Amino acid sequence: MLTGSIAALFALLLAVLAVLVPLILIASRAESARRLAVALILIASFAGCVVAVSSFLRQPGPVLDLSRATPFPFSFAVDRLSAFFLLLVCSVAIPVTLFGASYFDLHYSEQRRNWTWAFLSLFLSSMIAVVTASTGFAFLAGWELMALVSAGLILIEGDSTERRHNVFIYLLMMHVGAAAVAACFFLFLPYSHGLDFRAIRAAGAIVPPGIRTAVFLFAFAGFGAKAGLIPLHLWLPRAHPIAPSPVSALMSGIMLKTAVYGFVRFAFDFLGGGPWWSGYAVLLVAAVTGLLGILYAIAENDLKRLLAYSSVENLGIIFLGLGTSLVFLAHHAPLGAALALVAALLHAFNHALFKSLLFLGAGAISNSTHSVDLNELGGLQRRMPLTGAAILVGCCSIAGLPLFNGFVSEWLTFRSFLAGSTLIDTKAQIVLPLMVGILALIGGLTAACFVKTFGVAFLGRPRSAGAEDAREVPLGMRAGLCLLAAGCVLIGIVPGLLLRPLVPLAQVLITGAGVPSETLSIARITPWTAAIVLGTSALVVLFKRRERMARTWACGLPELSSRMQYTSTVFSKPIRFVFARVYRPDRKVEQVPADQPYFPVSISYRSVRTTSYERALYRPFVDLIVSLALRLRRLQTGNIQVYLLYIFLALVSLLTFLRFQR
């Protein structure tokens, strides 16, 4: 009975998001229609949370079979892994929708607003479809829809040449990735009855090792492209910043997680672990991704690009956990594998919360100041205190500080590295504990990056007129921000809420795993540490003190100006200097007039990070494709006789082929 109603609810929410809401918005331009649509999206997202929680508790979850209505086997089912990601999608969708409801109203004309909401609803339904699909076709359809709709959402914002170029790169890389994902499915075909997930899972045990390796590599490349793992990250810092902020929040917060879902589905659920070196390969790529991601993020001054690069870094951390889990699996240590997998999945959830919080925060900032350039912000905390507090929570969470959710998942990842020292294998014993150093460096740099972000944007003096006149954002935006911030703090202090369901999920994916004791101990200790820190702080605050406003000493000048403050550029200078080999900056100093070096009228200075290795990696491919295309162009002469010749030749060759085939 209950399962039936949950299945009905699930079918209903997919129908509402994918069909009803877009139809309403296309049919009617009325204000009330849009209100109705937004309310429907909110209700559907909430229903999605209900479906996720109830099907997590009661397995098997709801199944929705549309195979009769479609030419392909097309069905959805919510098993535990799907339920977890469904919860992730829907619980982040609620605050983002709340935020968007007031954000789009302020920024978009009526027509664009309707299109945006229609696409947003489709985008959500495509992501739900991806994480709940139970056949290859359903998965690939959702996967394709997701890429196309998000590209549409970026183009609604505007269509300059540069934007089109970025969207082109985005779509190109998404389709290369989608091809790899499709290849993963089709490689299973000779060994399974169809592309039903159950059949694939059964086939996973019997495929020959060569095919297993191929499937693993294709899955890693295909989902890695979606996750933005370096060197396949090229599209991410181009596509995410140019989308409207709520859409960036969805893309960074949720869409990247569908790649994590896909990789876990293939590598753990279908294959049950890759070849012995797979874990090390994932660790290597993830470590490079994490380090370069955060180093690029630190050097950015555009808030949204900074956040996009930091998404690259966080996906690196998630894949560090997944790689560790694969290493443990290869050495038949299910307990450690479960611990690392729990860490990775929890970090995926945490990243969804704090990254969408920060992207929404960027939206709030651009709403109030009309800029996301950190060097034009400053002093916003006094002008928009609630937004500032929420973003501070996001910054603390992403920096992995205790009392916030990012810490819990990073701590679990650290502990899974440490547990690597108990493996019998020498490689693992050395590599895994050393990864602690890599993650610690990433963590330290992340803290530096977000001190810069919050400190420069929200503290000190305003650096532009826009920041000077900033006002607090409307209620809907604040509600979205505060919901997400509350989630970050809640998971940070009571991580047991998510860890308790995550452990059985890991046990489903990794046979023979017990309960990792680390997941219990972190859940026990965090409330105590929170109590000590907050208790001492409260005691100190109660201590009465007298205060007086006094201007900061200006070294004898009449008054400090905002130009004397450290900017975002100069804050990151020491780190950019130390890691200059990574950035390979291209500096240019121009003096006017050039022939009078001692009496310049103006001096301009520019320093751009060169992307030398990106060029070295991609240029040969691009050149090859372009030269092939140029050569093929010779076929198109425009002469009708030549085309007739082509047709004739094709006909003759087909006939010959048919004649000799039998």
Partner 1 sequence: MKITIDILQVLILIMAAPLVRGVIARLKARLQRRRGASVWRPYAELFKLLRKEELVPPTSSAVFRLAPVVLFGATICAAAFVPVMHASSLLGSQGDFFMLVYMLALGRFFLSLGALDGGSAFGGMGASREALVSSLAEAPFLLGLVALAVLAARADIAGMVAWTLGQNIFNISAVHILAFTSLAMVTLAETGRMPVDNPTTHLELTMIHEGMVLEYSGPSLALIEWASAIKLHAMLALLIALFCPWGMAASGSGWGMAAALLLYCAKIAVLAILLSVIESAVAKLRMYLVPDFLGVASAVSALAVIFTMWVKR
Within positions 517 to 536, which residues make up the interface with partner 1, using CB under 8 A? Answer: 521, 524-525, 528-529, 532-536
> Binder to partner 1 among 12, 182, 392, 479 (CB under 8 A)?
392
496 by Cβ neighbours in 10 Å (0-12 / 13-18 / 19+) ranks as middle
Select 170 or 354, whichever has its Cβ closest to partner 1: 354
> Binder to partner 1 among 421, 637, 653, 656 (CB under 8 A)?
421
Please state the closest distance from residue 563 (CB atom) to partner 1, in A.
Answer: 10
Distance, CA of 660 to CA of 662 (rounded, Å)? 6
Q: Are residues 234 and 173 in contact, defined by beta-carbon separation less than 8 angstroms?
A: yes
**Residues 422-441 within binding reach of partner 1 (CB under 8 A):** 422, 426, 429-430, 433-434, 436-438, 440-441
Does 385 participate in binding partner 1 (rule CB under 8 A)? Answer: yes
Please state the closest distance from residue 499 (CB atom) to partner 1, in A.
Answer: 15
Please state the closest distance from residue 516 (CB atom) to partner 1, in A.
Answer: 12
- Within 198-330, strands assigned E span none
> Binder to partner 1 among 545, 633, 659, 662 (CB under 8 A)?
545
Q: Are residues 258 and 412 in contact, defined by beta-carbon separation less than 8 angstroms?
A: no
Does 452 participate in binding partner 1 (rule CB under 8 A)? Answer: yes
CB-based contacts of 530-537 (< 8 A; 24+ apart in sequence): 530/402, 530/403, 530/492, 530/493, 533/402, 533/403, 534/403
Select 335 or 505, whichever has its Cβ closest to partner 1: 335
Residue 343 is encoded by which pair of tokens? 């860490």
Select 69 or 541, whichever has its Cβ closest to partner 1: 541
Closest CA to 552 of 464, 461, 462: 461
Burial 394-406, CB ≥16 within 10 A → b, else e: bbbbbbbbbbbbb
Residue 23, CA distances (Å) to 27, 42, 313 in order: 6, 17, 38
Select 59 or 529, whichever has its Cβ closest to partner 1: 529
Closest CA to 286 of 217, 350, 227: 227
Does 459 participate in binding partner 1 (rule CB under 8 A)? Answer: yes
Select 577 or 613, whichever has its Cβ closest to partner 1: 577
Pairing of strands 602-609, 75-77: unpaired
> Binder to partner 1 among 52, 128, 456, 510 (CB under 8 A)?
456
Closest CA to 363 of 41, 146, 108: 108
Number of residues that bind partner 1 (CB under 8 A): 81
What x/- string results for residues 481 through 520 when contact with partner 1 is judged by CB under 8 A? ----------------------------------------
> Binder to partner 1 among 564, 649, 650, 652 (CB under 8 A)?
564
**Residues 164-223 within binding reach of partner 1 (CB under 8 A):** none
Rounded CA Rg of the chain: 27
> Binder to partner 1 among 60, 158, 165, 566 (CB under 8 A)?
566
Does 460 participate in binding partner 1 (rule CB under 8 A)? Answer: yes
Please state the closest distance from residue 566 (CB atom) to partner 1, in A.
Answer: 2
Q: How far does CA 190 lie from the centroid of its chain?
A: 34
Select 145 or 283, whichever has its Cβ closest to partner 1: 283
Pairing of strands 63-65, 75-77: antiparallel
**Residues 398-417 within binding reach of partner 1 (CB under 8 A):** 399-403, 407, 411, 414-415, 417
Cα three-residue angle 507-513-514, rounded to 5 degrees? 100
Under DSSP, the state recorded for 423 is: S
Binding window for partner 1 (CB under 8 A); candidates: 200-208, 381-389, 491-499, 588-596 = 381-389
Binding window for partner 1 (CB under 8 A); candidates: 140-148, 362-370, 557-565, 589-597 = 557-565
Does 557 participate in binding partner 1 (rule CB under 8 A)? Answer: no
Residue 18 is encoded by which pair of tokens? 């994918």
Select 104 or 454, whichever has its Cβ closest to partner 1: 454
Select 517 or 604, whichever has its Cβ closest to partner 1: 517
Please state the closest distance from residue 479 (CB atom) to partner 1, in A.
Answer: 21
Distance, CA of 125 to CA of 141 (rounded, Å)? 11
> Binder to partner 1 among 553, 599, 605, 660 (CB under 8 A)?
553
Please state the closest distance from residue 600 (CB atom) to partner 1, in A.
Answer: 24
Lookup result for tokens 């874990």: 279
Select 371 or 397, whichever has its Cβ closest to partner 1: 397
Select 44 or 398, whichever has its Cβ closest to partner 1: 398
DSSP assignment of 357-420 equals HHHHHHHHHHHHHS--BGGG---HHHHSHHHHHHHHHHHHHHTT-TTSHHHHHHHHHHHHHHHG
- The conformational region for residue 182 under phi > 0 = left, psi -120 to 50 = alpha, else beta, is alpha
Residue 32 is encoded by which pair of tokens? 């009330």
Does 458 participate in binding partner 1 (rule CB under 8 A)? Answer: yes
Select 205 or 578, whichever has its Cβ closest to partner 1: 578
Q: Are residues 460 and 565 in contact, defined by beta-carbon separation less than 8 angstroms?
A: yes
Select 148 or 494, whichever has its Cβ closest to partner 1: 494
> Binder to partner 1 among 157, 573, 585, 611 (CB under 8 A)?
573
> Binder to partner 1 among 2, 71, 424, 551 (CB under 8 A)?
551
> Binder to partner 1 among 8, 205, 465, 578 (CB under 8 A)?
578
Closest CA to 103 of 487, 480, 384, 465: 480
Select 529 or 656, whichever has its Cβ closest to partner 1: 529
